[in-house]
A and B are shown apart, each in its own frame.
Chain A
Amino acid sequence: MSDAKYFQTTKRGEIHELKEELHTNDKSKQKEAVKKVIAAMTVGKDVSMLFPDVCNCMQTPNVELKKLVYLYLINYAKAQPDLAILAVNTFVKDASDSNPLIRALAVRTMGCIRVEQITEYLTNPLLKTLKDEDPYVRKTAAMCVAKLYDINPDLVKEQGFLDLLIGLISDPNPTVVANAVASLTEIAEASGMSDIFTFAPEALMKLLSALNECTEWGQVYILDAISTYRPSDAKEAESIIERVIPRLQHANAAVVLSAVKVVLGCLQLCTNAESVKTYIKKLSPPLVTLLASEPEIQYVALRNIQLICSRRPNILANDIKVFFCKYNDPTYVKVEKVDVMVMLANERTVEQVLLELKEYAFAEVDVDFVRKAVRAIGKCALKIERCAERCVAILLDLIQTKVSYVVQESIVVIKDIFRKYPNQYESVIGTLCENLESLEHPEAKGALIWIIGQYAERIENAKELLEAFIEEFADLDVDVQLQLLTATVKLFLKRPSNTQGTVKEILQLATTKSNNPDLRDRGYIYWRLLSTDPEKAKIIVLAEHSTVQYDPQKVDNQLLDLLLHQISSLASVYHKPTSSFLVNTGRQAQPTQQSTNTSGAVMDVMDLLGGDLSSSAPSQPKAQQPVVNDLLDLMSDLSFQPTSTPSVDMVGSHSLPAKMNSLLTADKGGGMAVDGILVRSGGKISYELQFKNISAAGPLSGFAIQFNKNFFGLTNAVALQVPTLTVGQSQTVSLAMTCKEDKTSPATPSLGLQVAIKNATGIYYFKDTIPLEVILSENGRINGPEYPQLWQSIPAANQVHTSLMNPRSLFVDIGLGGLGLEWFSFGQFFHRGFSHPPVPPFTTFAFFRKPVSSFLYLILNPGTTE
């Protein structure tokens, strides 16, 4: 009968009924009941309250029932640590059952129950099962050591489990060896001590021989472990390669890629050029074969092939055809294939590649992929000079399609070609200018404006073209505005006769009508340059700029080294160091190097001088844009599209999780631990604090609290009242807080809060952060459309002071959400009468992102007019 029926019970009193059924003597009924419990667990219902009742069913000879009970235990033991002990006896008994399956099951499950108390009971069964006569039990026990290490590393070291595990590497059974290797690698990574698992050459030999016999997954574990081994000399490296190369023929892509990783690692040590060549030759067919697997595997393979080709471009140079896109490849595969095609293209093959790319640009439907293909054509032009002319011809064909995104992308690409090969292809400018109207994307607009400015002397109607853009100045993107400003100045310098009015207009616009400091500053600089010495201005603005270079590598060399050692891993798929996508769980501290991006800072200066460095790295991913830009975008978005930001009651409406932060740990607080959080409800601020006495010294008494001067003048409204705490006791108090006007408060805005707590044993200090929503008043909100008005109402003559607090961390947060800013709302700092010298009344706006994990925070100083 179908088991789906178990999902259908939703009636009341269900739990009670289940309880009864679990205690029944009818074994089959009992099993039904456990299945119902598991079904409830599967759909996400909390059935942890049945813990003792389910444990009751554990003692059973029925393996299927036992497995279900064990599954339940794994899920809920953590919620019921005390009750989990109930299960221990059965586990220990099962661990010496006559049936090896039961022994293995017990050890495997016990390791999954992450309750500290259980670990002591686990020690003995684990010691025994590691030496079990049955390999199935041994391989399970080997894995269990890693589980135990995760819960209690000291216990593993004390009990000598590590040595036993290392001993298992010499086990006669290959599967046991594989799991032991996996387990050791895991422990080595978790501990950050790679020396736990030091490879003696003998161990290496054992691993290599186990390689031939273990399961496909086992081969992956062993190969990954071998890849961390550094051979002592070329001879050893070659012998490893010889042993590993047969694995390249395996049907499992993971085995193949791990083998490739080992071979590439060892190749670094090989000195004999001839043998290196032979080995390299053997690598390419298996890599190509990976492209015949499922698309997901292809994707992983392609991302890795890009890395491998960055280091060894010759490896697949003759196989370029296999990277041609198939019509029904998923887009994510096609995009990666195009990257590889460009990487591999050379003088001989580029013609073919261009034909393909042209085909994609014309025939494909996916907009992003078509863009990618157009960009790729541009990259080919930059990479191989001989084909540049052909590329320009194709791009012109593409522009003739009049499909707006194709046209736009083509113009951006042509701009780069102009910069790389100046004075060669300018004859096409006329065609480009004809397509002015179809440009919507800022990057395309910017590119065309740059071209107009750069070749102003050849474009007869340059002035009219630029004036058309100037008319819609206010609606342009900041980046486009910057380009337009520079282009107009160039136009003036090249053809001063009738363009004075135009340049004046744009300088006026840039300096007075914009909220963007970059634009204003640039406007002022040009203005001064032009009014001081136009000849000098010419030298500066019309200076020769560096040419664009094709950069074949997707990542820098240092990162590439790192990633090549991690082939097939997530890092190699993301092309990022592990630190960028893993939480720092105290696990291995990888030597991480962020691919540094300095161009962001330099960009503005360069751009000012007529260059445009941002385009010099066409492959630069968007996420690496300088942080400040995001901020400015954010502001411009807000001021230009006020109606799209609904006003939402922000303050006090969030039911924040009342999760307290640990403020003071017992070891720093003389046995007193303090957790707490600042909250605001009903217009009142309170500090929810929990005091715990974990000292050995006896009861704690005489509690008092004091707050250091802080920006908001936040302090306690009443005295702290905590009763005497005996050892082990804890007490939660709600301390009413208030904001007091205080002339001596620090002037620099900060959310920091320094707190001192006194008790009979001494004074303890800690820091907390004031959550912004606590300070913002409920009635201080404004509506979306009002906001820009308010902004505008600030007299321009008054200095506008923008103060950003800790902008880095704020924006890291926002950036992470993939700019998925769902909504903003504005709260007004209630502290209006704040008369801190020399600060007159000011208003604070906070922009919140939901959930309240990040915010942008501006303090506007409207001057004394209010």
Chain B
Amino acid sequence: MISAVYLINLKGEILIYRAYRDDVSRAAADAFRMQVLAAKEFRSPVQVFEKASFFHIRSSNVYLVAATRENVNASMAFQFLFALVEVFKGYFGGAFEEEAVRENFPLVYELLDEVMDFGYPQSCSVDLLKTFIMQEGQQLDPGRALVAASLAPAQVTGAVSWRREGIKYRKNEVFLDVVENVNLLMSSKGTVLKSDVTGEIVMKTYLSGMPECKFGLNDKLMMQGEGKKGGSGSIEMEDVSFHQCVKLGKFDSDKAVTFIPPDGEFVLMKYRVSDNINLPFKVSPIVKELGRTRLEINVKVKAQYSSVTGLNVIVRIPLPPNTAKVTTTAAAGKAKYEPETSELVWRMRKFPGDTEYALSGEVEMSARIEDKKPWSRPPISMEFQVPMLAASGLHVRFLKIYEKSNYNTIKWVRYISKNGQYLNRI
């Protein structure tokens, strides 16, 4: 299992070293720091140095590294590092950075002690950890702290390890956000090579007690599970994965999504749909190379949704690195050449449904001294947000909440479609 965890800053200094076994020392990370962190460009996120394997991920300006000398479960090692980031973020107020680590090192050690034992990951639920590991500033008076602390273990190990008991809200509310990332890869001839939607259903719960939730979507399989016919309004999900609170056995047997939610915000499920996707935007680009020093650009973007409005739409048109001068006329928004990334960036704050905007421009390039490789013509990418649109066609059919005290719950459901990798080759 995992022998040690290091937190290392961008300069390669070890901020924290926590050993869980004594076969990988603090100094063992030297080879790793030299060859991976100093090299910047690495060929694999897990590498062997001196017969020890190092897993690493990066979160803002900190590398999280796990070292081992055994044949450990690699995906678990990475998942643990990601979980660790979440734990720290939960404690540091959302930002996990070198400064925060330095400022809170006793807390970091305390957390590291709790989330892993002898190299085996233990419960990483921030909500629960907070019940018995608290920041100094927030420490309760001794009497209450003891009560809270002695309560904790039962929940850490209980069947509902993600929710503590005795939660109370005056107003019981649930927010359900359907966030869809639309991925597209379109060839230069305008045919769709690949398109899919990776979606997340993010829940924010402010519910008292131990509520049991049941939830239904217009997924074909789920509807069949309820004995309804998946008619024309249904969609076909290729795959779903659930937060650990969802009873997987029940989902497998009768396709019902039932769970006792954690308190606060969490990702309830992730899904992927690749059939019948309503692509929010269609881009028709023409990029002509006129000789060696001139380019002509003509990009049309059409909104393929109606009655809603897209926000913060950005079209990034890559230009050759030796671009010298760009003149453009845009029907809407503003277009600007950004030399750092060699991109012509066209920003539109609002993009109403069923409209089409065009941008045309001319690019002059400086003659290149060494004419090595012709311009590689990277793809045009798009960024956008379209509230109240679910590109996959998904909608939440119901959300039921049962609790002993039978309180009323206010439920909110929102949809938003965002860009994932939205690429048009040119």
Q: How far is the CA of A784 from the CA of B247 in the complex (A)?
A: 71
Q: Which residues of A contact B423 (CB under 8 A)?
A: 326-327
Q: How far is the CA of A2 from the CA of B100 in the complex (A)?
A: 9
Selected from A75, A139, A257, the residue in CB contact (under 8 A) with B75 is: A257
Q: How far is the CA of A144 from the CA of B150 in the complex (A)?
A: 21
Contacting pair B42 A246 (CB below 8 A): no
Q: Which residues of B contact A587 (CB under 8 A)?
A: 70
B57 and chain A: residue at smallest CB distance: A296
B224 contacts partner chain A, Cβ-Cβ < 8 Å: no
B414 contacts partner chain A, Cβ-Cβ < 8 Å: no
Q: Which residues of A contact B60 (CB under 8 A)?
A: none
A273 contacts partner chain B, Cβ-Cβ < 8 Å: no
Selected from B45, B104, B113, the residue in CB contact (under 8 A) with A295 is: B45
A240 contacts partner chain B, Cβ-Cβ < 8 Å: no
One of B19-27, B203-211, B303-311 at the interface:
B19-27
B190 contacts partner chain A, Cβ-Cβ < 8 Å: no
Contacting pair A294 B57 (CB below 8 A): yes
For residue B368, give the distance in angstroms from its CB to the closest CB of chain A.
14
Q: Which residues of B contact A297 (CB under 8 A)?
A: 75, 78-79, 82
Contacting pair A286 B42 (CB below 8 A): no
Contacting pair B51 A252 (CB below 8 A): no
Selected from B14, B68, B81, B113, the residue in CB contact (under 8 A) with A67 is: B113
Contacting pair B105 A246 (CB below 8 A): no
For residue A744, give the distance in angstroms from its CB to the closest CB of chain B.
42
Q: Which residues of B contact A796 (CB under 8 A)?
A: none
Selected from A3, A101, A217, A363, the residue in CB contact (under 8 A) with B378 is: A363
Q: Which residues of B contact A186 (CB under 8 A)?
A: 1, 118
For residue B244, give the distance in angstroms from its CB to the closest CB of chain A.
5
Residues 360-395 of chain A: 1 if any B CB is under 8 Å from the residue's CB, otherwise 0? 001111000000000000000000000000000000
Q: How far is the CA of A143 from the CA of B114 in the complex (A)?
A: 13
Known contacts A216-B244, A327-B378; is-contact A99 B149 (Cβ 8 Å): yes
Q: How far is the CA of A213 from the CA of B68 in the complex (A)?
A: 28
Q: Which residues of B contact A247 (CB under 8 A)?
A: 248
Selected from A135, A212, A257, A299, the residue in CB contact (under 8 A) with B154 is: A135
Contacting pair B44 A68 (CB below 8 A): no
Residues 238-262 of chain B: 1 if any A CB is under 8 Å from the residue's CB, otherwise 0? 1111111001110110000000000
Contacting pair A3 B239 (CB below 8 A): no
Selected from B46, B71, B156, B185, the residue in CB contact (under 8 A) with A175 is: B156
Q: Which residues of A contact B14 (CB under 8 A)?
A: 44
Selected from A254, A288, A295, A322, the residue in CB contact (under 8 A) with B76 is: A254
B107 and chain A: residue at smallest CB distance: A3
B198 contacts partner chain A, Cβ-Cβ < 8 Å: yes
A300 contacts partner chain B, Cβ-Cβ < 8 Å: yes
Known contacts A99-B146, A220-B73; is-contact A139 B44 (Cβ 8 Å): no
A134 contacts partner chain B, Cβ-Cβ < 8 Å: yes
Contacting pair A569 B270 (CB below 8 A): no
Q: How far is the CA of A256 from the CA of B79 in the complex (A)?
A: 12
Within 8 A of A (CB), among B112-158: 113, 117-118, 120-124, 132, 136, 139, 142, 146, 149-150, 152-154, 156-158
Known contacts A216-B244, A583-B69; is-contact A324 B194 (Cβ 8 Å): yes
For residue A64, give the distance in angstroms from its CB to the closest CB of chain B.
7
Contacting pair A108 B376 (CB below 8 A): no
Number of A-B contacts (CB under 8 A): 265
A42 contacts partner chain B, Cβ-Cβ < 8 Å: yes
Q: How far is the CA of A112 from the CA of B113 in the complex (A)?
A: 11
For residue B1, give the distance in angstroms from its CB to the closest CB of chain A.
7
Contacting pair A585 B69 (CB below 8 A): yes
For residue A356, give the distance in angstroms from its CB to the closest CB of chain B.
8
Known contacts A39-B105, A74-B19, A324-B185; is-contact A570 B153 (Cβ 8 Å): no
B286 contacts partner chain A, Cβ-Cβ < 8 Å: no
Contacting pair B57 A289 (CB below 8 A): no
Contacting pair B251 A42 (CB below 8 A): no
Known contacts A71-B109, A365-B376; is-contact A296 B78 (Cβ 8 Å): yes
Contacting pair B241 A64 (CB below 8 A): no
Q: How far is the CA of A6 from the CA of B107 in the complex (A)?
A: 14
Contacting pair B73 A254 (CB below 8 A): yes
B11 contacts partner chain A, Cβ-Cβ < 8 Å: no
Residues 565-599 of chain A: 1 if any B CB is under 8 Å from the residue's CB, otherwise 0? 01011111110001001110101000000000000
Contacting pair B159 A136 (CB below 8 A): no
A482 contacts partner chain B, Cβ-Cβ < 8 Å: no
Contacting pair A136 B421 (CB below 8 A): no
Contacting pair A136 B157 (CB below 8 A): yes
Q: How far is the CA of A220 from the CA of B74 in the complex (A)?
A: 11
Contacting pair A362 B376 (CB below 8 A): yes
Residues 215-243 of chain B: 1 if any A CB is under 8 Å from the residue's CB, otherwise 0? 00000000000000000000000111111
Contacting pair A250 B248 (CB below 8 A): yes
Selected from B22, B270, B376, the residue in CB contact (under 8 A) with A363 is: B376
Selected from B16, B80, B132, B425, the residue in CB contact (under 8 A) with A359 is: B425
Contacting pair A249 B241 (CB below 8 A): yes
User: How many residues on B have C-beta within 8 angstroms of the other chain's C-beta atoms?
Assistant: 102
Q: Which residues of A contact B82 (CB under 8 A)?
A: 294, 297
Contacting pair B118 A250 (CB below 8 A): no
Contacting pair A251 B244 (CB below 8 A): yes
Q: How far is the CA of A114 from the CA of B22 in the complex (A)?
A: 8
Q: How far is the CA of A215 from the CA of B251 in the complex (A)?
A: 18
Contacting pair B239 A285 (CB below 8 A): yes
A221 contacts partner chain B, Cβ-Cβ < 8 Å: yes
Contacting pair B244 A300 (CB below 8 A): no
A261 and chain B: residue at smallest CB distance: B73
Contacting pair A212 B248 (CB below 8 A): yes
Contacting pair B241 A251 (CB below 8 A): yes
Within 8 A of A (CB), among B391-426: 421, 423, 425
Contacting pair B71 A571 (CB below 8 A): yes
Residues 355-388 of chain B: 1 if any A CB is under 8 Å from the residue's CB, otherwise 0? 0000000000000000011101111010000000
Contacting pair A139 B241 (CB below 8 A): no
A83 contacts partner chain B, Cβ-Cβ < 8 Å: no
A174 and chain B: residue at smallest CB distance: B159
For residue B229, give the distance in angstroms from its CB to the closest CB of chain A.
23
Contacting pair A64 B136 (CB below 8 A): yes
Q: How far is the CA of A327 from the CA of B183 in the complex (A)?
A: 12
Q: How far is the CA of A790 from the CA of B381 in the complex (A)?
A: 62
For residue A102, give the distance in angstroms from its CB to the closest CB of chain B.
9
Most A-side CB within 10 Å, residue of B74, B156, B425 = B74
Residues 65-93 of chain B: 1 if any A CB is under 8 Å from the residue's CB, otherwise 0? 00011111111101111100000000000
Q: Which residues of B contact A246 (CB under 8 A)?
A: 248-249, 251-252
A63 contacts partner chain B, Cβ-Cβ < 8 Å: yes
Contacting pair B248 A570 (CB below 8 A): no
Residues 1-14 of chain A: 1 if any B CB is under 8 Å from the residue's CB, otherwise 0? 01110110000000
Selected from B42, B152, B241, the residue in CB contact (under 8 A) with A289 is: B241
Q: How far is the CA of A359 from the CA of B377 in the complex (A)?
A: 10
Contacting pair A249 B251 (CB below 8 A): yes
A359 and chain B: residue at smallest CB distance: B425
Contacting pair B76 A245 (CB below 8 A): no
Contacting pair B71 A578 (CB below 8 A): yes
Q: How far is the CA of A583 from the CA of B139 in the complex (A)?
A: 45
For residue A838, give the distance in angstroms from its CB to the closest CB of chain B.
44
Q: How far is the CA of A134 from the CA of B55 in the complex (A)?
A: 34
Q: Which residues of B contact A215 (CB under 8 A)?
A: 122-123, 161, 244
Contacting pair B157 A173 (CB below 8 A): yes
Contacting pair B53 A581 (CB below 8 A): yes
- 6 A-B pairs with C-beta separation under 8 A: A71-B113, A286-B241, A289-B272, A326-B183, A356-B193, A403-B373
> Besides A38-B106, A175-B123, 14 other CB < 8 A contacts?
A3-B107, A6-B105, A42-B15, A67-B109, A100-B150, A134-B153, A136-B152, A216-B79, A220-B73, A221-B120, A251-B243, A257-B73, A289-B238, A568-B76
- B binding-site residues for A, Cβ under 8 Å: 1, 14-17, 19-23, 26, 41-46, 48, 51, 53, 55, 57, 68-76, 78-82, 99, 102-107, 109-110, 113, 117-118, 120-124, 132, 136, 139, 142, 146, 149-150, 152-154, 156-159, 161, 183, 185, 187, 193-194, 196, 198, 238-244, 247-249, 251-252, 267, 269-270, 272, 372-374, 376-379, 381, 421, 423, 425
